[in-house]
Structure 1
């Protein structure tokens, strides 16, 4: 059984998230998704949707076998618990694949790190949470 891990904030789900998770699932048999806690999201504004709700929404998606909230202080703890064969990074995630591989090796986790492809947006399709929020603000103010 080939275990795959995907991770992210998943704030306001959109087709880009679905594309990422479908591609991640195609790399193995079971897809585990780690949903970031608010305090671990430091590279963009805080999530709008509460953590428990984001986990519930991600777990409801067809490609996902299990979703869980990330560790409060060490992002590698759930990865060690899952012991994946592959970690799939989103195409636009800020993570450095080589740095992750180094950390995994230091912790004795033997798995590949891959990067998912991006999805091209159709006309009027919103593929980022930021775009969705901007559209809401523009139409509701």
Structure 2
């Protein structure tokens, strides 16, 4: 049985997230998802939706077999429990595949890292685009 792991912030759940997770699920038999902890997000603005609610949303998707919060200390800690065969990165995730693969090997993991380069082509495929649309609609109409 091939276990796939996907990770992300998953703030303001949208069709791009569903596309990413469905693409990840197609690579194996089980899909585990790590939802980033608020305290560990440093590469972009803190999420609008609290981590527990983001976890509940991801857990409710049919394509996800198990979702859990990531570690607040070491991003690799949950991998000891999950033991993935494949770790999937999204097109916009900043990890360097070679560096991540090397770190995994050093920690004793045999998982293969794969990036899904495709993204959903629709107007609201990202949290940022959704936020901008809300601001455009509700803030500009206030002028």
Q: TM-score, normalised by structure 1?
A: 0.95
Question: Which structure 2 residue ranges, 5 or more long, are not aligned?
Answer: none
| Equivalenced residues, count | 139
Q: Distance in 2 between matches of 1:131 and 1:34?
A: 23
Residue matched to 1:60: 60
Range 5-14 or range 75-84, more displaced: 75-84
Structure whose alpha-carbon radius of gyration is higher: 2
Residue matched to 1:79: 79
Q: Distance in 1 between matches of 2:58 and 2:73?
A: 21
Question: In angstroms, what is the RMSD of aligned CA positions?
Answer: 0.9
Question: Which structure 1 residue ranges, 5 or more long, are not aligned?
Answer: none
- Runs of 4+ that moved beyond 3 A: none
Residue matched to 2:138: 140
Residue matched to 1:49: 49
Q: Distance in 2 between matches of 1:80 and 1:97?
A: 19
1:113 alignment partner, SS class:
strand
Residue 92 of structure 1 and its aligned partner are, at CA, apart by: 1.2
Q: TM-score, normalised by structure 2?
A: 0.94
